[in-house]
Chains A and B, each alone.
Chain A
Amino acid sequence: MSYDYIEFGQTEKEFTSKIEEISGQNIFSCYQCGKCSAGCAFSNLMERTINQTIQLVQLGQKDKVLESNTHWVCASCMTCTVRCPREIDVAAIMEAIREYTLRYEAETIERLDLPEDLLKKIPNIALVGGFRKKSEL
């Protein structure tokens, strides 16, 4: 078994506070019960589970948080939010990580390049929703 050495200084604290500020949540309320990940419909597609992501946010590990697909796979269904025993709006934390990327690291986002026939076919609420969650528009 090996252990990762992690930095924990001012830069890391700033990332944690930024996520708290955008989400309006106290990230340190989380006590790692794992209920969010257990009930998540998309856990099987996530590179890191939700509770692992939350712990990394607590530790300010920005690069590790942002490189995982967890927050992009989240579909904002809010099952985690309604089940959290610590009453954290977990989905809002996922949203805050997306927003952080869109606000400060937008150049890392791949543009949504949608084929014409798809644009004609899918419901407009899918388009508005998709663009609001996944692009800086």
Chain B
Amino acid sequence: MKNSYFPGCNLKTDAKGFEQSAIAVSKALDAELVEMPEWNCCGTVQTMTADNLMRRIAPVRVLSRASKHVKELEGSQNSVTTLCSMCNSTLKIVNAEVKENPNDLEKINFQLENDDLVYEGDVQVKHFLEILRDDVGYENIAKKVTNPLEGMKIASYYGCMLLHPDKAKIDDEEMPTVMESIVLSLGAEVVDWPYFKQCCGSYHIVDRDDIVNSQVAKIIRNAKKTGANALIVACPLCAYNLDNQQLELEKQGVEKDPIPIFYFTQLMAIAMGLPQKVNHFEDNHINPKPLLTELGLIEEKK
């Protein structure tokens, strides 16, 4: 099976480890992610206004090109896959909106005429977690595990965009299980904690890092209290906020003993014994290697 894959901007910059580990994992599980051609930024945050079509053009353009790609890609289902949860949310919401409002879609399509493409509202958007749950299946993930993550106690951090709003959610918004199920199939321990979708402060990092810091402190304290030694995320912005701001809090003397932040695909790659270079751990702010070495999950090259 192949999946048309929309990377989004961050997967090529700060989150290379997320993209490359996901691609490696997808190949190993016979659900390969194949990058779609000529993609553009989806706009990151979907507009919640009722009257602004301009902000909906970029996602529709992505969808129209994805629709072309899935037709050309052999063995592909009629869906485009995302890794970043903000892209997932933006594309899903706009996809649902234009299906509900054909008049809006017609106006947006008029803007795409230079592309010689029109979008017919015919493609689905899926997050890679949905592919893993619905198409691959947890038991098939477990079968590929050669290096079970024994000793890891993982708090799954969904953040907001995987679960909100109804149009974009990938699982139950108050009691999701998809990340926990993957953690279990990798042989790690699941931590049950209430802060799984407490917002990290998101884009406030640009000018109000005080807001982000207070959120990160709450989230991390709760994770530690429940015994977690690592967090998994599916969003490059959650990752940055939780990772970098923990170090910031340490500098300020507010928090100590930061815990590493992983993309869920990085842990899958380790558990499945894939080459370590796909994880790009050098981009992590809190070095995750000491924990992994201590638990005997990776060998530190001297």
Contacts and interface: CB of A to CB of B under 8 A. Distances in A.
A13 B55 CA distance: 28
Contacts, number: 128
Given A23-B49, A77-B199, A82 B164 contact: yes
Given A79-B160, A114-B206, A126-B203, A132 B55 contact: yes
A23 B44 contact: no
A73 interface: yes
A133 B55 CA distance: 12
B9 interface: yes
Given A126-B240, A128-B43, A129-B203, A78 B49 contact: no
B164 A79 contact: yes
A95 B44 contact: no
Given A78-B160, A79-B164, A128-B43, A22 B203 contact: no
A99 to B, nearest CB: 6
A42 to B, nearest CB: 7
B13 interface: yes
Q: Chain A interface secondary structure, helix, strand, loop or mixed? A: helix
Tier of interface size on chain A: 35 or more
Contacts of B205: 122, 126, 130
Given A75-B204, A114-B207, A130-B206, A82 B49 contact: no
Interface string B229-243: 000000011001000
Nearest to B244: A121
Interface string B1-27: 000000011100111000000000000
Nearest to B173: A82
Contact of A130 (B50, B198, B204, B236): B204
Interface of B: 8-10, 13-15, 41, 43-45, 47-52, 55, 84, 86, 160, 163-166, 169, 173, 197-199, 201-208, 211, 214-215, 236-237, 240, 244
